[in-house]
Amino acid sequence: MKQSTLTVPAAPVLNVTRVGGDLQVVGWERPEITAKADGEALTLVSDGQQAEARSDSNLILYVPRQTGLRVVSVGGDVDLRAVTGALDLESVGGDLQMRNVGAVRLAALGGDLSVRGCAGDFLAEKVGGDVSLHQIEGNVRLQAGADLYLREAGGNVSAQIGADAALYLFPKAGQMVMVEAGGDILLRLPARMDVEFSLQGCDDESIRVDLPGQTPVELGLFRQFTVGSGAAKISLLAGSEVTVTSRDEEWASVAEFDPLGREGPFSPGEFPGISPDLQDKISRRMEEATRRALQASVRAQDHSERIQQRVDVAMRRAEEKLRSTERRSAHMGISTGRWGMTIPPRQPIPPGPPAPPAEPVSDVERLTVLKMLQEKKISLAEAEKLLAALEGK
């Protein structure tokens, strides 16, 4: 792992020209930029007010919080945290996550976008995946190919969405919201508001309004009405259905609509305060623990496959034993009637050599048979035969 550190002004401008893998940027209070890369190529240079960083692999950057950041090209995912300067991102191939950042301009993103806390305007010109936006203080303007989840926008909103949109807004006087979606639109509002609405759906019954004093359904593709003074304006155009409501129940029904609003799909990244040597030791220990876990998993899988092979062999042996018994019974004249069996007398057979002791049945094999019985893959009779075959009976 390569590492480099530069002393910079309190509010520098950093140009990240190229990152071959993932990029993580974390703001801190030091007047320094520290770069760490896990590949062979790492560049971190400065000409005074501006600095440049690039890497052919994954890159981690610690920067002053007020840094203005320009990202030209990243092949993988990007994770930005606590960077309050202006952010300008040209091209990101994977997913993008931002937490507590300044004004944002995003030109092109191939994956999903998740933002929690933006102190300025947010502009995203082209997003290939889903978009989750929380607490945007400025204006929102974006174009996305999949779903949109927007909660709390302080400025105007203009969005073109390829699929569904779920909006949770608190309209203010003078605010304008215009959303076009290829699928459904759900808008949740407070019970008291001053809004002029313009709604359009896909057919005569595709618009539903669940607001105090308003008719729930009116036939028609278009619907316009005003609640209160109409100081804010909201225009929604959906390729399918439009729902406007002030009920919490409607919003709760889409609680799982925002998978990007949680930390799940993203790595928490590294944070300052831990020495590089200690971070390297932790990374090596984590890698070693992961390697041991994978090896144990492979061994367990191999053991399970061997047990399953033994179970299959024992099952075939039990079935063959049953068929052999039936053939011998038919050959010896054993017959069954209405009231029982009639078995002709037979001559005693001299005892043969003792059978070799059967391999003891392990608890794992018994549990495997019982699990197959529980999952109804075999019947109770088959389970008894299988256990008997495993025990050599």
- Flag whether pLDDT at 162 surpasses 80: yes
**Among 61, 24, 57, CA closest to 38:** 57
Of the listed ranges 56-65, 88-97, 278-287, 383-392, the one predicted with least confidence: 278-287
pLDDT in tens, 208-253: 999 988 888 888 899 999 999 999 999 999 999 999 998 876 555 5
pLDDT confidence tier of residue 264, bands split at 50, 70 and 90? very low
Angstrom distance (rounded) from CA 379 to CA 255: 42
- Flag whether pLDDT at 7 surpasses 60: yes
The residue with tokens 């692999």 is: 57
Angstrom distance (rounded) from CA 97 to CA 95: 7
Q: What is the mean pLDDT of the chain?
A: 80
DSSP reduced 3-state for 263: coil
Mean pLDDT value across residues 360-379? 70
Give the model's pLDDT for residue 370: 74
Give the model's pLDDT for residue 40: 81
Mean pLDDT value across residues 316-343? 49
Report yes or no: 61 and 27 within 8 Å, Cβ to Cβ.
no
- Flag whether pLDDT at 139 surpasses 70: yes
| CB neighbour class for 198 (10 Å; exposed up to 12, middle 13-18, buried from 19) | middle
Report yes or no: 106 and 96 within 8 Å, Cβ to Cβ.
yes
Our separate counts of H helices and E strands in the chain read 4, 28
Give the model's pLDDT for residue 270: 44
Give the model's pLDDT for residue 83: 95
Angstrom distance (rounded) from CA 265 to CA 112: 10
Report yes or no: 200 and 238 within 8 Å, Cβ to Cβ.
yes
pLDDT confidence tier of residue 49, bands split at 50, 70 and 90? confident
Angstrom distance (rounded) from CA 171 to CA 233: 8
pLDDT in tens, 283-294: 455 445 545 544
pLDDT confidence tier of residue 58, bands split at 50, 70 and 90? very high
Give the model's pLDDT for residue 48: 77
DSSP 343: -
Task: Name the residue ranges covered by the structural domains of the chain.
Answer: 173-254, 287-322+359-393
Of the listed ranges 29-43, 240-254, 351-365, the one predicted with least confidence: 351-365
**Among 31, 26, 33, 25, CA closest to 10:** 31
Of the listed ranges 100-114, 190-204, 205-219, 327-341, the one predicted with least confidence: 327-341
- Flag whether pLDDT at 56 surpasses 50: yes
The residue with tokens 């910079």 is: 8
Give the model's pLDDT for residue 63: 95
Q: Count how many residues are written for the chain.
A: 393
Angstrom distance (rounded) from CA 313 to CA 276: 55
Angstrom distance (rounded) from CA 136 to CA 138: 6
Give the model's pLDDT for residue 386: 76
Report yes or no: 74 and 23 within 8 Å, Cβ to Cβ.
yes
Provide DSSP, 84-143.
Answer: -S-EEEEEESS-EEEEEE--EEEEEESS-EEEEEESS-EEEEEESS-EEEEEE-S-EEEE
pLDDT in tens, 79-112: 999 999 999 999 999 999 999 999 999 999 999 9
Reported in sequence order, the residue ranges of 171-328 that DSSP labels E, i.e. its strands, are 176-181, 185-188, 195-200, 207-210, 222-227, 232-238, 242-245
Mean pLDDT value across residues 366-384? 74
Pairwise pLDDT comparison (137 vs 333), residue with the higher score = 137
pLDDT confidence tier of residue 371, bands split at 50, 70 and 90? confident
